[in-house]
Structure 1
Amino acid sequence: MSDYVNFKEKRSRGNFVGYVIASGLSFRTRTGNTRGQRNTWGQRIFDCVTAAGLFIFCLPILVLAALAIKIESPRSAVFFTQIRYGYAGKPFRMIKLRTMVPNAEQLKSGLVASSVDRGAGFKVAQDPRITKTGRILRGLYIDEIPQFINVILGQMSIVGPRANSYSPESYEPWQKIRLQVNPGITGTWQISRNKPYGFDERCRMDLDYISSKSLLTDIVILFQTVKMLLTSFSGE
């Protein structure tokens, strides 16, 4: 990785959280009563209430999506779970609607060379494993609805860095800072007009988010996500 230095400071009641990122440099953070801590009670209440409300609201859509998956592939499972890494690198099973062929994980190794992400991530343009129904569900982000259950269980937040399937052991030291908060269903790079494909760039955006994290910021990102859902479509 080329040398990259970024310093952010956020003051809150006399405390601060700072990030110094550089190739070959160690980082140091201090978190007292900062907004960058894992979960305040206000954050947890916001996550639970929002997740429960949106899950109930989206339940009819979830049922229709499940039927569509079964019609296309009657013998395949409706839901897909995968080990992801959350707060402090703790593994958990993230729940999604199945949008790929049943043997997608087995086919992944043959597509690694085609990944546009050369870091601790995996992204293939026009992924051939995605089903016809799955492409629609992904384009409308309907496949993400079951993750509200992960939020209610405390494994995720509504807003935060994207949960990664790669072990934190494969991260560079500075990238591990993103594990200081719960992963989210949506976040800053998901609503970005020019979405970053590289893991390094996504991590930088995650750290920018963490350094200024607040309940108000999360609410703004949530509304921007809703706006994006109503105005754009992506089937990747």
Structure 2
Amino acid sequence: MRVVSLDTAGGDAKVHDQVYDALADALIKGQIPPLNPVSLRTLAANLGVSPMPVREAVRRLIAEKALELQPSNKRLRVPDLTEKRVLQLTKAREWVEPELAALATPRMTKDAIRRLRDDDAKLMKALSSGDVGGYMQANQDFHFCIYAQADADLFYDLARTLWLQVGPFMRVVFGRLGTVQLPKDHHQDMIAAFESGDPEAVRASMQSDVREGMEMMLDVIRSRAEPEPKRRRAK
């Protein structure tokens, strides 16, 4: 988790936003592990700030279901994901993110496409070397470069909220399976569709990309719920 370099010129509100952004970014990148209790003071120390702006940021993240407060010990944690929750998140992502990508198509500039190519090159390098952190960073940069081009603030905020909830678990999935076992990414098809100005092809590629990632998460959660096979007793 990065230390926040505070710009106090905008007052307390700006500081609170900076701290929120830092915590949200850490969640999306999976830097706060699921189900591991953490205190406000620990988060504040990691960010290099006082507990007060962290407390406000945490309230926002709890409202967005990215964090939860444990009643027993008053500590924070990333809430667990159930199969039912993952299915809902999958459906929501398949509604929002392909729509953002389609809206971005007529607004996609040559510079933005160049950034997408750079992000995908970094992603493939991380994929080949098993660099989970590098893969997640490049994948996030790729997706949110597209979403920013859509010029649709409401959908953008919805996508970011959804990524807040799935980020920590994507990190767990990639860590268990290894990035070299990830399904084929659809980013090159998406870039080609952007270059040809085909919003429906972009939409289809984004939907496939989202679905494959969420299906991997669902497989891990289902396997975690399966009972371990009983061992045979020696005769």
Name the TM tier (shorter chain).
under 0.3
Q: TM-score, normalised by structure 2?
A: 0.25
Larger Rg, first or second structure (1 or 2)? 2
More helix per residue = 2
More strand per residue = 1
